[in-house]
Each structure stands twice: as structure tokens, then as C-alpha cells.
Amino acid sequence: MNKFIASALLMFSSHTVSALELLVPAYFYPVDDGVTYWQTLTEAAPDVAITAILNPDSGPGAAFDSDYAAVANTFQAAGGRLIGYVYTGYGARSEALVKAEIDRYYAQYGVDGIFLDEVSNLAQHLGYYQSLHAYIKGGFARNHIVANPGTQTPEAWLATADVLVTFESPAAEYAGYEPDAWTAAQDATRFAHLVYDVADADAMRTVIDTARAHNVGHVYVTDDRGDNPWDTLPTYWAAETAYAAAVPEPSVWASFVAGLALLAARLRRPAR
């Protein structure tokens, strides 16, 4: 019993535990089934924290798209957070082009932040991403930044984004994933995992449990696969939102830890 209490206290005191959020690559055009997917996201937004990634054409597209604007506005009005997709070519794409696309997202779609994709984790590119971070944070009031290296990343990259995607791959690779040791001391809200080709709802729950064990506060799990595993919502979407919504808020965990501490103290008292 004492070993259980010690393990639980260590796990929950090592970092701040936060309620789980869903980070959804919403790469579906808002017509036909795509409209249904956006409606489904919007209906879930009041009940579970969702950040949706808007991606009209591997970026904001050459021209304003009223179909995207309509679903984006409705999603935000329901309480969802919307961020715009911009790729960086692993640090090789012109900063000027990236910044121009960032500007268009804000001007055309009123986004709440930016999703930087194809993010390099090499030291020589750190300054590039710090510059983009300063541009977004300094230029826009709503400036949530998610950066996607998609794999293990040096700790210095915490200075480039609010959230780092440190895994983006199929379920077959997730079982062997080992997070960098430095991530354990950080707040879970700093990390996200995107896992696709997850067969069913039971497997989805296992993936989410694994993400939580890796100190990850943002997750998305789907049974979609192929070249673009983000062009539908998972068939078990309702189960996923319910499971994510059931993760307790930090205050609940704090009460749990306090209760364990009290129980441990009582167990240590000598018998009279």
C-alpha cells in the first residue's frame, strides 16, 4: 500500500496534470461529408476542448474561401479554437512567405493562432522558429502557436511554440515511442501527439492512456490512414470526445494527491 501511494504521489507531483485537449487536423473541405465533419466538430466544442487546424490548401490558399470561413466562424462561436496551417519546409522555406501566409490567415479567417508544420528539430534552425514565434506573438492578440516536428525535439524548442507535437505517426510506431527525458518535468499542455491508423475505440483509449503516461496534454487519435490520414473524423469520434472529456481538471487531481498524502501520513503513524 505504501509503495502504491509513493508511486502515485511521484507521478502526480512530478508535473502539472491538465485536462486533455483534442488537437484535430481538420483537413476536410467543407462540402458534402466535409460539412458534416465540421458540424460534428462544432457540436462537440462546448463539451470538450478542441483546437482545429484549418488548412484550405497546404496553407491559406491563393484566395479567400467563404465555405471555410463559414464553418470556421461557426466552430469558433461554439467555443472551439481555430489555428491556421503553414508549412515551413523544415526551416528551408522563406520566412517572408511563411509570414505572408500567417498574415492572410488572420486577415481572411480570423484565426486564434498558427500551426507550423514540417518543423526542423536541428539546432541550426532554432533561430528561424524563434523569429516566427516573435512575429506571431508580437503581431496578433490571439496568438496560440503549435509547432510540429512530429518527433523527439530538443528542450530549446519550448521557446518556439506553446505546444510541440512530438509524435505524428501510425499506431504501429506508437508502442515503441520513448519521449525525451526532459519532457517529464514540463507541463503536459506543452506537448501533443497525433496518432493515426488506430483500429477501434478500445485501441484509441489505449493510445490516449499512453499519451497521458508520456505527459502529453493534447492528443488526436483516428482510424483514418493513407497519404492523408486527416481527411475524415474517426468512426469512433463520439467515444473519443467522451473519453477526452472524462479526464479530470487539475483541481480534481490536486484533491486526489492531497488525499493520498493524508492517507500516507496516517499509515506512517506508529500503532498505539
Which contacts (CB < 8 Å, 24+ apart) does range 9-16 have? 9/257, 9/260, 9/261, 9/264, 12/253, 12/256, 12/257, 12/260, 13/257, 14/184, 14/185, 15/184, 15/185, 15/186, 15/187, 15/188, 15/215, 16/187, 16/188, 16/189, 16/250
Give the model confidence (pLDDT) of 145-181 as tens digits: 999 999 999 999 999 999 999 999 999 999 999 999 9
Query: Global pTM?
Result: 0.86
Residue 254: pLDDT band (50, 70, 90) is very low
Domains (range + CATH), the chain:
2-6+22-265 (3.20.20.80)
Average pLDDT over residues 45-70: 97
**pLDDT greater than 50 at residue 234:** yes
Give the model confidence (pLDDT) of 71-111 as tens digits: 999 999 999 999 999 999 999 999 999 999 999 999 999 99
The neighbour count for residue 164, using CB atoms within 10 Å, is 26
Percent of the chain with pLDDT over 90: 83
Percent of the chain with pLDDT over 70: 85
